[in-house]
Structure 1
Amino acid sequence: MEITLGQICSLQPKYTSSNTPDMQERGHLIRSVLAGELRSRLPSLRKAFDSVFDDLAVEGSDGIGRKTEAPWVRIFSKAMSPTPREGFYLVIHFAADGSAVFITVGCGSTIWRGGDLRPVSDDELKTRTSWARLIVQQKWKSLIPFDDKIFLGAKAQLPRTFEKATGFAKRIAASELNTTDLDLLLFRAAERLNEIYLAQIEQRDLSPGDQSADEISIIAKPLRNRAGKQGRGLTAKERQVIERHAMTLAIKHLSINGYESQDTSATKSFDILAKRAGEELLVEVKGTTSDFCDSVLMTKNEVNLHRAHKGSTGLIIVSKIRLSRDNGEPTATGGEIEALLGWDIDEWTSDPIAFQVSRKSNGSIARNQTRTPR
């Protein structure tokens, strides 16, 4: 593989957007030779992944139509990253001047938000790559050996987007390819990608509101192509465990702050009635595995309640709850509390993500209605 990488590096300074003989050779090396060498390594790389990710694949690109300054080859789970624009993946990049190869883990430029796949801004890319680094640092306490800055040195916009979408990278000088253990670096990168995938399965990269919107969109559009979401999400039982854990922590937090709490989650449009020295608060509790908490899902009744009793309601978000599944039974631990007591819901934005569309009650079926015979 080091020979192939070296050959690609030697062709990089000869870049042109036209399909010259040099670019034809580079395309063959990227899409066929290097991709094939990585496919031959998939059996050993699978040992770095949880068994749920049994759909690993390889693809490479040197441009669609016109050639690109920054060719790449990636290793990915088909379910977690069905296209290069979605999800995270292990990807090999090349410096434009051929001076170096980068073994990286990066992400696509779109994300599931509000139940749909949407492009992300540079700020959102920064948030996503920072989150990926956090996941790795929590596990390995360091980014080493993937603590190098990626700089491709290309003039076009797309390679600069690749740089922004890189979570972490290892730079290997072209002159050091023959003395570097490339297989070990690939395996270490695969281990880190696996950790990111596991965090995504628990939806730690989605805000609570986006988690809920995703579930609603599945109900509303069951036939929509959602290959990239296979295996992601929590079961009903796991969600119940998370909510119970969040309620316990919320009641404990309120008690520490002098409130007596009554659990009303089964009978009211709020979860806790909290009382302290004649003060009453109607408190909504949201528990989540998410590491991001910039949105939550509320029903129409919950929104109306918070507006009608503004100043006398509260929102408690318990984020970063961790699930374990020992012996098949989910248990929840941890969690960070954000308590917004005396919350003003109108300081947040409220976006409708679904509607219940009902037939008008006019006492008759519309005359123009056409029924399709079965």
Structure 2
Amino acid sequence: MSLGETLNEVLKLQAAYTPDPKSALMKQRKDLVEYVIRDQIGSELAAIWPAWRASGSGGKGAPAEVPWSRYFDPARSPAPTDGWYAVYLFDAVGEAVYLSLNQGTTTWDVERQDFSFRSSAQLAQRVEWARKVLVDTDADPKTFHDINLKGKQRLGRVYQFGNVHGIEYRVAEIPSDEELRNDLIHIGRLLEHLYAAEESALYIPGDEPPEIADAQLAADEAAGKTRRRRKGGQGFRLNHDEKKAIELHAVALATEHFKAQGYKVKDTGAVESYDLLATRDDETIYVEVKGTASPGEQIIVTRAEVEHHMKHYPSNALVVVHSILLDRTNGALVAYGGTPVITQPWKIDDTALTPISFRYRIPLE
């Protein structure tokens, strides 16, 4: 059976969809999407991307309304709920199958300490970022932005929100295997480009801020928890040099702001639990500075910082410099841009603080 014939066969089975796990037709569909298409994709693409893999799912337990078969770099997308990948998505009524450049639909929830579905707004932000990355790459007139899986289950709707580019094949109108192979390669090239952009990106809209992700990872590792997935299944998002460049740039902008207000400014970050000491006549302001590549909706604060600023309110301020960029031209690492947001005085709201981890002293018997 050719790839085109297999796709058509799955669509025919989709027209007879039932959630009954004992259905012989659904078991046949499961075999096709999980094994046959997987092997067909693998054989077509092995020579181009030998490290990539293919997999599929007809549903865990009960048959899924929208089955799929995907191909991906396991280093960048270790699970179908994580990272970017290319995927055949079969609509719920068997009218069409889409070859979609799509994405994982879950993210780590720090407060719940579990994975949760990304919101439609988060997926839309990530899709917008990906389309901008690929704006000069996708020249295939067959690709389009909206796919309609006609499903009632949540996962099918989330696939629609996660679609970056898609190619539609109508039932009984599946093209030749040569054209299918060309389309697989085309979407694969887009995926390859997206992986490279993700690797160099400090922050992708819709994701958690890199500082938050790194702090949680450090807390998990200290507690012996290593199962948390990171960006592309890898480690920390910011290295030491990147963090330092962002920090110094944020401090420079904050210093500039207070000097413009007539303050004398001293950098105290290396020796105190606050970053700047701003003085003007008899007035003293303790300034906390945070720099981030994200939109600045969340920051990391230490216990010492919280205690200090609670004690010295209202003689304090918070400066968050968000949307900072890094330039690596000619091997040099330079932070630039960013928008300072000043809160003065800074009254810390207890309800806005979320503990990432705790230190527990073992009672002596």
Q: Distance in 1 between matches of 2:135 and 2:106?
A: 28
Is there any run of 5+ residues in structure 1 with no aligned partner, and where? 47-53, 361-365, 369-374
The two structures have a TM-score, normalised by structure 2, of: 0.81
1:132 counterpart (119, 122, 126): 126
Q: Distance in 2 between matches of 1:154 and 1:203?
A: 29
Q: Distance in 2 between matches of 1:27 and 1:342?
A: 60
Alignment deviations for residues 269-294 of structure 1 (CA, whole Å, 9 cap, x no partner)? 111123456543221111223x3422
Match of 2:4 in 1: 2
- 1:339 is aligned to 2:339: no
What is the identity, as a one-letter code, of the residue corresponding to 1:356? R
1:1-374 equivalences under 5 Å are: 1-18=3-20, 19-43=22-46, 46=49, 56-114=52-110, 118-120=114-116, 124-141=118-135, 147-164=144-161, 166-174=162-170, 177-178=174-175, 181-191=182-192, 193-195=194-196, 197-198=198-199, 205-207=207-209, 210-222=212-224, 224-226=226-228, 228=230, 229-276=233-280, 279-289=283-293, 291-325=294-328, 330-346=333-349, 349-358=352-361, 366=364, 368=365
Match of 1:371 in 2: none
Contact 2:129 2:204 (C-alpha < 8 Å) held by counterparts = no
Aligned length: 351
Q: Distance in 2 between matches of 1:143 and 1:293?
A: 30
Name the SS for the 1:268 alignment partner. coil
Name the SS for the 2:346 alignment partner. coil
Q: Which moved more, 1:71-80 or 1:301-310?
A: 71-80
What is the identity, as a one-letter code, of the residue corresponding to 1:357? Y
Q: Distance in 1 between matches of 2:41 and 2:257?
A: 51
Contact 1:100 1:171 (C-alpha < 8 Å) held by counterparts = no
Name the SS for the 1:151 alignment partner. coil
What is the identity, as a one-letter code, of the residue corresponding to 1:318? V
Residues 1:107 and 1:187: Cα distance change in structure 2 (over 3 Å): closer
Q: Distance in 2 between matches of 1:61 and 1:104?
A: 15
Residues 1:262 and 1:152: Cα distance change in structure 2 (over 3 Å): same
Q: Distance in 2 between matches of 1:76 and 1:237?
A: 30
Distance apart, 1:13 and its partner CA: 0.8
RMSD over aligned Cα atoms:
3.3
Distance apart, 1:317 and its partner CA: 1.8
Q: Distance in 1 between matches of 2:54 and 2:69?
A: 7
Q: Distance in 1 between matches of 2:153 and 2:111?
A: 32
Distance apart, 1:71 and its partner CA: 0.3
What is the identity, as a one-letter code, of the residue corresponding to 2:33? I
Alignment deviations for residues 99-125 of structure 1 (CA, whole Å, 9 cap, x no partner)? 22223343434322439752335xx42
What is the identity, as a one-letter code, of the residue corresponding to 2:305? E
Residues 1:350 and 1:39: Cα distance change in structure 2 (over 3 Å): same
Name the SS for the 1:120 alignment partner. strand
What is the identity, as a one-letter code, of the residue corresponding to 2:306? V
What is the identity, as a one-letter code, of the residue corresponding to 1:17? P
What is the identity, as a one-letter code, of the residue corresponding to 1:182? D
